[in-house]
Structure 1
């Protein structure tokens, strides 16, 4: 146990170091770079271990999982087996995308409870809802029902030491009688229980401004998806720093957003292959954004 005197001495030395070298203060607060593993969806099922080794070597320290199901688990691996591989390469699964089965539509908790257990084994911080099927998001009433389910799931997550987040695409910004589905989710969910993972690409693609969302809903966007928009075809992704999105301006608003973690994601249009693309994105972020 550290004594009070040693604590004062230690913190005093740290403060002196910060004054002597301001860059040290920045490095203490430097955010880790995460990768949404869906980027490597063609490689992971073939060889999880080799793929995650390359993720680590590229400079990533955090990952966000995807694709869990009760039957298939994670690409044929149990959560415990996946956790062991992540540990071997010093990777942390701070979040995961879990589809939750039919819970959002009919309240069946089977897949939700299994997802919570998997996320606990991985020692994740967030369980993230990645998608809502089209038949269940056609009206304000539908979005109110989704918000209610998110509140319910968030309570279950909280009881298990997890936080619930919702990840957007562009469809949430469609308006119904002048109001977007996304605004319904922000308004109708418990601010202390339900958080948001803002996909910056999809917000901008939909014609909206992430900074406006940050200012109107400060602190609610605990995670970001960072993927760039191709200069020639805006419907395609590109490596971070190689497209049209002004990430430098957005990263200056991280505090207003409440951002704790961010994940590079690239769904298509890889420079040469997905591994080279994640390396280029990581290099740009480490040199220019954090």
Structure 2
């Protein structure tokens, strides 16, 4: 579905000063480890309560939602009902992936307004754009239109007490007349209102360096997706710490990035089952990246 290229992080930026900075140390001392719930997309719709209980047992205290719609809401649960299950399991939902209906393409606000209300009910900090459909991202003008619409959403989010973030895949790094879609999004969006959830896997998969993005765009990447690349098949994921990505220099540069939340995500290739995989990733992060 998406063109992929092999790439392994080799950059060696790792400074003790960054890790020791008060703001970064605070978030790390809390040991807040998030999970993008799309990782459990097979289990969650069947048993929301039981699945979230296992998320907590695996060591997570923060989640990022997905799948909200005006028809089914959160797998048949209202935002208020879903929030109670989160609360019962000691989980917060700092961010959520909301498709926003067709707003990015035609300006229809129906799904967008419902999504903002859902995010407010969950007491989320960020409403995150997860994906742009292929027909609407084919050239520079498409990306400029998306950027303009994202700016509109960001203003609506601010009025509602939320922040707006954009989540990347690798297609944003394809060049159009010498410039990438991601460069357009960074340049054409309001840096005070629009933030980015940097999917480290997809940045690296596209042949780019997250550390370079941090240096060139400090404080824009308030959230990350943390998922690893399988050692034998770089088109597949693996548990964090089991693959080819060296996360230590990335976490060392978290303050420069602006990162305040990160979410483990694994889309495929679970070692045994998804619950064991998310625990393996959580344990590695807790012991090696934020302790």
> What whole-Å deviation, never above 9, does each CA across 1:184-238 have from its counterpart, x for those lacking one?
0000000000000000000000000000000000000000000000000000000
Q: What displacement does 1:29 show?
A: 4.3
**Counterpart for residue 265 of structure 1:** 265
Return the alpha-carbon distance in structure 2 between the equivalents of residues 245 and 116 of structure 1.
34
Return the alpha-carbon distance in structure 2 between the equivalents of residues 209 and 28 of structure 1.
24
Change (3 A) 1:29 1:233: closer
Aligned to 2:42, what secondary structure does the other structure show?
coil
Identify the structure with bigger relative contact order (alpha carbons < 8 Å, sequence gap 6+): 2
Aligned to 2:104, what secondary structure does the other structure show?
helix
Q: What displacement does 1:28 show?
A: 7.0
- Report the TM-score when normalising by structure 2: 0.90
| 1:81 equivalenced with 2:81 (yes/no) | yes
**Counterpart for residue 17 of structure 1:** none
Q: What displacement does 1:116 show?
A: 0.1
**Counterpart for residue 275 of structure 1:** 275
Q: Which residues of 2 match residues 195-206 of structure 1 at below 5 A?
A: 195-206=195-206
> What whole-Å deviation, never above 9, does each CA across 1:11-32 have from its counterpart, x for those lacking one?
xxxxxxxxxxxxxx95774240
Larger-gyration structure (1/2): 1
Aligned to 1:128, what secondary structure does the other structure show?
strand
Segments of 5+ residues of structure 1 without an aligned counterpart are: 1-24
Q: How many residues align?
A: 266
Aligned to 1:213, what secondary structure does the other structure show?
helix
Aligned to 2:211, what secondary structure does the other structure show?
helix
Return the alpha-carbon distance in structure 2 between the equivalents of residues 29 and 146 of structure 1.
34
Segments of 5+ residues of structure 2 without an aligned counterpart are: 1-23
Return the alpha-carbon distance in structure 2 between the equivalents of residues 162 and 262 of structure 1.
17
What is the Cα-based RMSD across aligned positions, in Å?
1.0
| 1:95 equivalenced with 2:91 (yes/no) | no
Aligned to 2:218, what secondary structure does the other structure show?
coil
Aligned to 1:269, what secondary structure does the other structure show?
coil
